[in-house]
């Protein structure tokens, strides 16, 4: 990788940061994420991985709805630390068109992630260099979750005019299902305000087919051996929205992650999610069909 390309990339990213009034260091991390993802798509391992997480909102909405410094992937099939280590070492060495960034294979580190009953997987840390700028990329790897409907391959949008990654992605329905699972399981212990923000963003911006969403939620709950809900979880009730600790956590999340969004109040978000998810949850619990259509523009299910 040439120093001149690295300098040019850094200058262009700095211009983007000024134009969009975004944090330059976060743009560096995003650039590192997309270039690492591109390298993955150029390998024999590409079809084993599905893109998930907050980076999907960039693809769906054309802009970041909240900053993220992680690349989230689901892997199909059995895979151990030794194979993961080999895959990501190879990614660091793969030949691609000069995009200015070099990933250091000696920097690859793998650790276990365990978030109580909600999630377990692997976190991979990789260090990259864009000239003399050091970029650390974290890749969170999940295993074995159900994906409904089937993931489709999409081209991921890139910051600059370098080749874009093409990779299978999580459908929005499964994103909803996994975040709802956390709400159901954690109840009042839930401090994952990013899940509430993500679900609220999805409900405001995208239409959903009720039957497909019900299937996705059911598949996720069954795959994770959850008891099917027979009533609304506390995380969708006024009890949660009115809890002083939750309100403090919500305000802290907004100030930290999306400072330009001082509103809405947590009660508004929870009410929206109750309208969006409540009827589907009750249909699952009653084991009845649900064929309504969610219209984001009207914030309502329509027959």
Under 8 Å between Cβ of 219 and 146: yes
d(CA 126, CA 236): 38
Q: How far apart are the first and last CA of the chain?
A: 56
Confirm if 155 and 34 have CB atoms less than 8 A apart: no
pLDDT digits (tens, 9 = 90+) for 241-250: 999 999 999 9
Instruction: Provide the H-helix boundaries in 150-261.
Output: 172-186, 193-205, 210-223, 238-241, 244-257
d(CA 146, CA 243) in angstroms, rounded, equals 33
pLDDT at 1: 61
Q: Which residue has the tokens 């403090």?
A: 248
Does the N-terminal peptide bond of residue 8 adopt cis geometry, omega within 30 degrees of 0?
Answer: no
Please check whether residue 255 is in contact with residue 203, taking contact to mean a CB–CB distance below 8 angstroms: no
Q: What is the pLDDT of residue 62?
A: 84
Return d(Cα 149, Cα 177) in angstroms, integer: 12
pLDDT of residue 298: 97
Distance (Å, whole) CA 210 – CA 288: 12
The pair of three-digit structure tokens given for residue 115, joined into one six-digit string? 């978030």
Q: How distant is the alpha carbon of residue 174 from its chain centre?
A: 11
Query: Cα separation of 33 and 43, whole Å?
Result: 16
* Span 263-285, pLDDT tens digits: 789 999 999 999 999 999 999 99
pLDDT for the residue 8: 96
Distance (Å, rounded) from C-alpha 42 to C-alpha 36?
Answer: 10
Task: Please give the structure tokens belonging to residue 80.
Answer: 């151990």
Of 150, 144, 147, 240, the C-alpha closest to 195 is: 240
**Predicted pLDDT of residue 113:** 87
- Give the domain ranges of the chain: 3-170, 173-302
Write down the pLDDT at residue 117.
62
Q: Which residues of the chain have pLDDT under 70?
A: 1, 115-118, 261-262
Q: Do residues 60 and 38 make contact, with C-beta atoms less than 8 angstroms apart?
A: no
User: Distances from the Cα of 158 to the Cαs of 22, 30, 33, 219, 260, in angstroms?
Assistant: 16, 9, 10, 32, 24
Question: Measured between alpha carbons, how far is 48 from 44 in angstroms, rounded to an integer?
Answer: 9
The whole-number pLDDT of residue 261 equals 63
């Amino acid at each position: 990788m040439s120093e001149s390309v690295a300098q040019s990339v850094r200058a262009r990213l700095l211009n983007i940061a000024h134009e969009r009034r975004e944090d330059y260091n976060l743009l560096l991390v995003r650039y590192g994420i997309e270039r690492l993802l591109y390298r993955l798509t150029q390998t024999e391992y590409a079809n084993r991985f599905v893109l998930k997480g907050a980076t999907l909102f960039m693809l769906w909405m054309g802009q970041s709805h909240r900053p993220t410094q992680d690349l989230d992937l689901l892997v199909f099939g059995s895979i151990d630390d030794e194979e993961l280590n080999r895959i990501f070492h190879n990614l660091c060495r793969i030949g691609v068109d000069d995009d200015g960034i070099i990933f250091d294979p000696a920097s690859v580190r793998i650790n276990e992630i365990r978030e109580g009953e909600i999630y377990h997987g692997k976190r991979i840390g990789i260090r990259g260099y864009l000239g003399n700028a050091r970029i650390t990329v974290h890749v969170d790897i999940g295993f074995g979750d159900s994906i409904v409907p089937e993931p489709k391959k999409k081209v991921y949008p890139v910051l600059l005019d370098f080749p874009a990654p093409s990779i299978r992605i999580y459908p929005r329905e499964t994103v909803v299902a996994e975040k709802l699972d956390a709400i159901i399981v954690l109840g009042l212990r839930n401090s994952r305000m990013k899940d509430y923000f993500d679900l609220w963003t999805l409900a405001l911006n995208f239409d959903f087919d009720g039957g497909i969403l019900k299937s996705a939620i059911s598949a996720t709950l069954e795959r994770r051996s959850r008891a099917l809900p027979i009533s609304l979880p506390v995380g969708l009730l006024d009890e949660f929205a009115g809890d002083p600790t939750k309100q403090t956590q919500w305000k802290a999340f907004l100030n930290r992650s999306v400072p330009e969004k001082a509103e809405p109040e947590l009660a508004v978000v929870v009410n929206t999610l109750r309208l969006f998810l409540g009827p589907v949850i009750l249909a699952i619990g009653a084991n009845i069909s649900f064929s309504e259509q969610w219209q984001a523009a009207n914030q309502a299910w329509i027959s």
